[in-house]
Amino acid sequence: MFYVGIDFGSTYTTVSVYRPETESLVAKALSEGGTPFIPSVLAISKNQISIGKEAKTMTTTAGRKSSVKSFRAFKMMLAEDDEESIRARGFDAIYTPERVTQEFLEKVLRRILERENETMIDYLVVGVPEIWNNEITTVDGRTRLRDICRRFPFIRKDADGCACVQIVSEPAAASAYFSYNFKQETGRNFDGRLLLIDYGGGTLDLTLTDVETRPDKEGREGMEIRVLKRTGAGENEEGRIGQAGIAYMETLMENAIHEVFPDMTVEYDADFYQAVDMLEGQLQECTSMIKGVFDEYGTGIGNLSEDAMDEEDYFFSGVFYRGSRIDITYQMLVQTYQDVIRGVFEEKLDEVIRFMKEQNIDYMDRSNDRFKIVLVGGFGNYYLVQEQVSKKFIFNSMDNRQKHVIRSQEDCEKSISFGSALLASGMIRIRNTAPYSIGVCADAGNGISLTYGLYLNQDIEFNKVYFQRDVHGDYVVLLSLSGGIRRFIINTHDDKRSALIVYPKPEFQNKLKKVITNQDCTAVVGFSLDSSGVLSLHIHDYDLISCQISDRGEKIELTNFKELFDIHVLERAYKDD
């Protein structure tokens, strides 16, 4: 069997393969001896499409008058519908975010198949940001990515004729890998909580997950994962790259150039990105050297004693920009970190800590073997990031909070793709919970009844219909649906004050009317989620005399919230007295 997991990142993509016959879990490179971290870049030159390192090289070495067209950070654009924002990233009517994503992923997977002498993928799992689960403005990205992957002809079909593809949250995938690693190290399943700090090139994601061991329907024991809390910054949270690895390196490079050329206006062109790529390589290759210098001359963040440094240790590196050498000092590393990273990172760490305190989670107990803190992502390997986390949680050498979840720091960067491959194999399962509450508006006197078909964090089964019920457990019966369903209610938080009313757009309203064949019918509505978290609406006739739901019902897949609902005209469902 050939199970594949993908960490489809904004800056790098990693593909891992799990083979159950040999219990082999390996991150794959596209070329012999190459790195498994594939730049998420696609370039077009003379109608030839290149991806990965080749595309990145073409982009950074192309002259200013070159016809090379390149695309970066296109994953997050799948959830974007604002045409101005899409055009600003270089996309057009031909090369849309969907097409670029499809071209990139198909080429990546075909090369992996070729290298592994395989023709079909038995199951594919792709990791996406947790925010794609539960934010109304971003859930469409999950649906679009699922549909893109389903179109690949080399993925095995299930009994219903659909390609075996699942879209999962990145923290759930990383939790799957660390839970698996814990069992490999200790011989027992992990039951407890994981705080995952994922610091990548474009994003910061902090996620608290609950992992428990319990049997499935067939009685097989396995680990199940549930997300309890997430927060973050950068592209996943704000829709733009910022306050993460790329922003740090670009700002550092710009600051260093201004040290040499104070009056220069730095353009983010091919010359600049070539210098940034060189800087990135040096930061990656010199991890241990950076740690050694900071350990010797200071305590890290904000306390580097540069006056006491030996001259040979004063400069970190030299990077060439437009023919000039640009020196970068250790003090620049610290100052840029202070300006770009430290404040927002501290804020997000504090936000998660407040939640853990509210939930009475003892996150500071070093002897606790049921609470782990794991730092992942490429930028998570950077010394100053690690130092800030270490100071926040006061780590020491005997700290159980970091034991048995990490075999090597390099594997942390592969954790999402590793976990996705394990989820593809079925060895570890994600505990299925509703990412938000949703229902059809039911009037209750002067207000709206806060009843739903799905409730936030409710345990659910994939593809099972959950009908809307009132507080007494009775079905919410809709009378005379000839006018369609005029309002839905959605809540992405626990607080009832955050419940929102959304209105179907005219095209969707017409579709809803068409499925109601009898204008005097009574009906109940329900909702279901598939394995990729894509929502469907179900409308079934209801017999008031027998209190029975008809087996015959209509299913409408809610594949694109922004096309179905007017999410810009929102109304609070709950108002303070």
Give the single-character DSSP code of 317. E
Q: Is the pTM of this model over 0.95?
A: no
Neighbours of 546 (CB within 10 A): 7
Cα–Cα distance, 479 to 542 (Å, whole number): 10
Give the confidence band of 78 by pLDDT, cuts at 50, 70, 90: confident
Instruction: Decide if pLDDT at 299 tops 80.
Output: no
Give the model's pLDDT for residue 577: 43
SS3 240: coil
Q: How many CB atoms lie within 10 A of CB 221?
A: 9
A 10 A CB-CB count for 54 gives 14
Q: What is the pLDDT of residue 576?
A: 52
User: What is the reported pLDDT for 569?
Assistant: 59
219 pLDDT band, cuts 50/70/90, is: low
Residues 6+ apart with CB under 8 A from 354: none
Residue 241 lies in a domain: yes
Mean pLDDT value of segment 315-328 = 91
Residue 412 or residue 65, greater confidence: 412
Task: Give the span between the Cα atoms of 104 and 124, in whole angstroms.
Answer: 16
The residues facing 123 across adjacent strands are: 3
Q: Percent of the chain scored above 90 by pLDDT?
A: 32
Residue 85 placed within a domain: yes
Higher pLDDT, 537 or 509: 537
Asked whether residue 144 falls in the same domain as residue 67, the answer is yes
Q: Residue 266 and residue 155: Cα distance in Å, rounded? A: 46
pLDDT tens for residues 229-256? 888 876 555 555 556 788 899 999 999 9
Single out the residue of 107, 57, 111 nearest to residue 281, CA to CA. Answer: 57
- Determine, yes or no, domain membership for 337: yes
> Is the confidence at residue 63, as pLDDT, over 60?
no
Can you tell me the distance from the alpha carbon of 422 to that of 51, in angstroms, rounded to the nearest whole number? 26
Are residue 395 and residue 350 in the same domain, yes or no? yes
Q: Are 340 and 221 within one domain? A: yes
Contact 125, 173 (CB under 8 A): yes
522 shares its domain with 550: yes
Q: What percent of the chain has pLDDT over 70?
A: 86
Domain boundary, last residue among 383, 400, 417 = 400
Q: Considering the domain boundaries, does residue 27 fall inside one? A: yes
The sign of the torsion formed by the CA atoms of 157, 80, 528, 566 equals: negative
| 447 pLDDT higher than 80 | no
Same domain, 39 and 56: yes
- Residue 45 domain-assigned (yes or no): yes
Domain count, the chain: 3
Residue 88's pLDDT is: 78
CB 531 within 8 A of CB 166: yes
Same domain (yes/no): 392, 342: yes
Helix (H) or strand (E) segment spanning residue 437: strand 437-440
Contact between 140 and 81 under an 8 Å Cβ cutoff? The reply is yes
Is the pLDDT reported for residue 264 higher than 60? yes
How far from the centroid of its chain's Cα atoms is residue 555's Cα?
28
CA 324 to chain centroid: 39
Q: Which segments of 41-154 does DSSP mark as H helices, in order?
A: 52-61, 83-88, 97-115, 131-134, 139-150
Name the band, by pLDDT with cuts 50, 70 and 90, for residue 506: confident
Question: 298 and 158 in one domain?
Answer: no
∠ CA 490-234-232 to the nearest 5 degrees? 60
Give residue 153's pLDDT.
Answer: 96
Instruction: State how far the Cα of 276 lies from the Cα of 326, in Å rounded to an integer.
Output: 11
Average pLDDT over residues 103-123: 96
Contact 527, 536 (CB under 8 A): yes
Look at 342 and 377; give whichever has higher pLDDT: 342
577 part of a folded domain: no
Mean per-residue pLDDT, 274-281: 88
> Residue 61 pLDDT more than 70?
no
What pLDDT is stored for residue 452 in this prediction? Answer: 92
506 domain residue, yes or no: yes
Model confidence at 327, pLDDT cuts 50, 70, 90, reads: very high
pLDDT for 303-319, tens place per residue?
A: 666 666 666 667 888 99
Q: Which domain holds residue 425?
A: 3-187+407-430
Query: Which pLDDT belongs to residue 449?
Result: 74
Q: List the alpha helices (DSSP H) in 261-370.
A: 270-285, 287-297, 311-314, 330-337, 343-358
Shared domain check, 458 and 331: no
Residue 531 maps to a domain = yes
Q: Exposure pattern of 31-47 as b/e (b: 16+ CB <10 Å)?
A: eeeeebbbbbbbbbbee
Whether the CB-CB separation of 278 and 272 falls below 8 Å is answered with no
Beta carbons of 178 and 376 less than 8 angstroms apart: no
pLDDT, greater one: 566 or 29: 29
Please give the C-alpha separations between residue 466 and each of 31, 186, 262, 439, 485, in angstroms, as whole numbers. 47, 39, 63, 10, 18
Question: 453 φ, ψ to 5°?
Answer: -85, -40
Residues 80 and 208 both lie in one domain: no
| 82-91, 324-333, 414-423, 463-472, range with the lowest pLDDT | 82-91
pLDDT at 567 over 70: no
Nearest Cα neighbor of 485 from 514, 456, 445 is: 514
Give the model's pLDDT for residue 218: 62
Residue whose token pair is 């609470």: 371
Residues 147-184 pLDDT 10s = 999 999 999 998 878 889 999 888 888 888 988 888 88
Mean pLDDT of 505-509: 85
The residue behind tokens 């990142």 is: 9
Which CATH number fits the domain that encloses residue 157?
A: 3.30.420.40
Look-up: residue for tokens 């000039």? 324
pLDDT at 42 (0 to 100): 93
For residue 54, what are the contacts with CB-CB under 8 A and spacing of at least 6? 43
Residue range 285-300: average pLDDT?
Answer: 80
Is residue 396 located within the same domain as residue 412? Answer: no
Mean pLDDT of the chain: 84
Place of tokens 């550092």: 252
520-563: per-residue pLDDT in tens?
A: 578 889 999 887 778 899 988 888 888 888 887 888 888 777 77
Other C-beta atoms closer than 10 Å to the C-beta of 437 total: 24
The per-residue pLDDT for 530 is 84
Is there a single domain that holds both residue 419 and residue 525? no
DSSP state of 29: P
Confidence band for 284, pLDDT divided at 50, 70 and 90: confident
Same domain assignment for residues 211 and 327: yes
